[in-house]
Amino acid sequence: MWGLAVETVAGFIGAHAAASAAHEHEFGFLGHSLAGLVGGALSGTFLQSAAITIVTGSGSQNPPTTVELASYMR
């Protein structure tokens, strides 16, 4: 849960940083905040689960099983 919280906050900060760099896309403070929070939480969840199944603790590749591949396709 700690990693999810960090990734959500990072998404919030990243959304506001991107909004300040790209002035042509204005969603307002609430829109940027919501997009950042959702984007950070979703990407953190999916990237962490993918990283755990793809790479082992030593850094070598861990090929996914058929069951793991099926769960990603849902």
Average confidence (pLDDT) over 4-10: 82
User: Is the pLDDT assigned to residue 2 strictly greater than 70?
Assistant: yes
Note the pLDDT of residue 72: 63
> Per the structure, how many domains does the chain have?
1
User: Is the pLDDT assigned to residue 65 strictly greater than 80?
Assistant: no
Band (73; pLDDT cuts 50, 70, 90): low
Count Cβ atoms below 10 Å from residue 4 Cβ, excluding itself: 13
Average confidence (pLDDT) over 42-55: 70
pLDDT in tens, 50-64: 666 666 666 676 666
Looking at the whole model, is its pTM more than 0.75?
Answer: no
Domain residues for the domain of 11 are 2-72
What six digits make up the tokens of 57? 């603790």
3-state DSSP assignment of residue 19: helix
CA-angle at 9, arms to 4 and 13, nearest 5°:
145
